[in-house]
Chain A
């Protein structure tokens, strides 16, 4: 079977740094994506890692280790608007994604 594991909830202080981990076990692997979803809204794409290493996009960074079947999303200089759910998703086919159950991030003042 296929599985992705990520923490269900994380709380962090405004201005701090938070890391959301994701471990995966899938039948195919092309890369790891991260999506952000605010309550009641649509998921929006944050990042994609196909190769090992760290990818940085502004305040957000994403890391992948294929040998460890592990990745993480790093959010820096947290803002209140970053409160949302974050999903890791494995690209298992040409364009198909298998999603984790999401991590609900709460940013507190």
Chain B
């Protein structure tokens, strides 16, 4: 079955540590996205990538980094520079430029900083 996988589902880290969240898709989608969701809030865009080896900052990129070396993969690193990293992180993808209007979401990773 095609879809988006994120791992791990729950992640705990100590303050000051970097952590990488995985996102893999087998939908052959060109564009991929990372969102952050805080309790009772909407989704805020962290980074997005329209094609391999290219990515752009979203609205809240500070303290995060990404890479897009393969079409299928878009890992997100939460660095120690992110002041309040505890949140629910969602990865999404869409087919490509222009007329593709549906974003497909992975199951999410819930990150807790201890």
Contact with A along B80-113 (1 / 0, CB 8 A): 0000000000100010111011111111100000
In this complex, the member of B33, B43, B97 whose beta carbon has the largest number of chain A beta carbons within 10 angstroms is: B43
Q: Which residues of chain B are near A48, meaning CB under 8 Å?
A: 101-102
* Interface size of B in residues (CB-CB distance below 8 Å): 26
* Interface size of A in residues (CB-CB distance below 8 Å): 23
B25 close to A (CB within 8 Å): no
Contact of B45 among A8, A41, A50, A96 (CB under 8 A): A96
A72 close to B (CB within 8 Å): no
Q: A94-B50, A95-B50 are in contact. Are A45 and B103 (CB under 8 A)?
A: yes
Chain A residues at the B interface, C-beta cutoff of 8 Å: 4, 8, 31, 33, 41-45, 48, 50, 87, 89, 91, 94-102
